[in-house]
């Protein structure tokens, strides 16, 4: 069974809400520790086997597979998660701006508020990314053509007498 499948099984095996909350609380602390190390080193590229990288970040390979699931959309070349084994070589080329945006989308305030972001993305840039994120969530409704409005085809007739006629 691949590491990713083991991760999914581990994440879904909790049947009691208290255990679910405890599991995710513990995972989020581990995830925060990984991001603190990545950001504090300001290193965009990380390479090695899953086991080597898991050791670097002081987590188990299964939990590292969970981390890879979370960061997969923020790296240049996404990883085929279903095939992850302990000795699978992975290359993480992180796009920090995309990562910050995705953290906003995940509502992961414990991650996007880390002090380690300051040397990587200045306050102004983080504000711009937050603005871009907010704009991406804004729904803009198209103006609806009224029956008595001029027809959208440009004929000069009322919409109800032209394209709006049954």
Cβ neighbors of 58 (< 8 A, separation 6 or more) are: 33
Is the separation of the CB atoms in 31 and 67 below 8 Å? yes
Assigned domain for 128 exists: no
Q: Express each pLDDT in 22-68 by its tens digit.
A: 999 999 999 999 999 999 999 999 999 999 999 999 999 999 999 99
**Residue matched to tokens 């950001």:** 39
Assigned domain for 67 exists: yes
Given this model, what pLDDT does residue 38 score? 96
Given this model, what pLDDT does residue 42 score? 93
Cβ neighbors of 71 (< 8 A, separation 6 or more) are: 92, 94, 99
Assigned domain for 110 exists: yes
Is the separation of the CB atoms in 46 and 92 below 8 Å? yes
> Quick one: angle between helices 17-41 and 3-12, nearest 10?
140
Assigned domain for 163 exists: no
Is the separation of the CB atoms in 97 and 117 below 8 Å? no
Given this model, what pLDDT does residue 12 score? 87
Give the chain's domain count: 1
Paired tokens of 116: 């380690």
Assigned domain for 85 exists: yes
Rounded distance, CA 57 to CA 37, Å? 7
Given this model, what pLDDT does residue 109 score? 94
Assigned domain for 79 exists: yes
Assigned domain for 53 exists: yes
Rounded to whole angstroms, the maximal C-alpha distance in the chain is 72
Domain containing 93: what range? 3-121
Assigned domain for 93 exists: yes
Rounded distance, CA 55 to CA 42, Å? 19
Mean pLDDT by 10 residues, the chain (166 residues): 91 85 93 96 95 96 96 95 95 96 95 95 96 87 86 91 87
Rounded distance, CA 20 to CA 39, Å? 28
pTM for the model:
0.80
């Amino acid at each position: 069974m691949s590491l990713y499948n083991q991760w999914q099984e581990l994440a879904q095996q909790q049947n009691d809400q208290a255990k679910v909350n405890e599991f995710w609380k513990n995972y989020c602390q581990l995830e925060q520790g990984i991001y603190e190390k990545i950001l504090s080193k300001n290193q965009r590229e990380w390479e090695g086997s899953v086991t080597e990288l898991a050791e670097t970040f002081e987590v188990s390979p299964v939990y590292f597979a969970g981390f890879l699931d979370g960061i997969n959309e923020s790296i240049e070349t996404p990883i085929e998660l279903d095939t992850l084994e302990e000795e699978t070589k992975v290359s993480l080329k992180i796009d920090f701006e995309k990562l910050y945006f995705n953290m906003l989308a995940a509502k992961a305030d414990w991650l996007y508020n880390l002090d380690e972001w300051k040397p990587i993305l200045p306050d102004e840039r983080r504000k711009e990314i937050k603005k871009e994120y907010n704009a991406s969530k804004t729904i803009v409704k198209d103006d609806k053509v009224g029956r008595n409005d001029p027809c959208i085809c440009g004929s000069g007739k009322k919409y109800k007498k032209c394209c709006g006629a049954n």
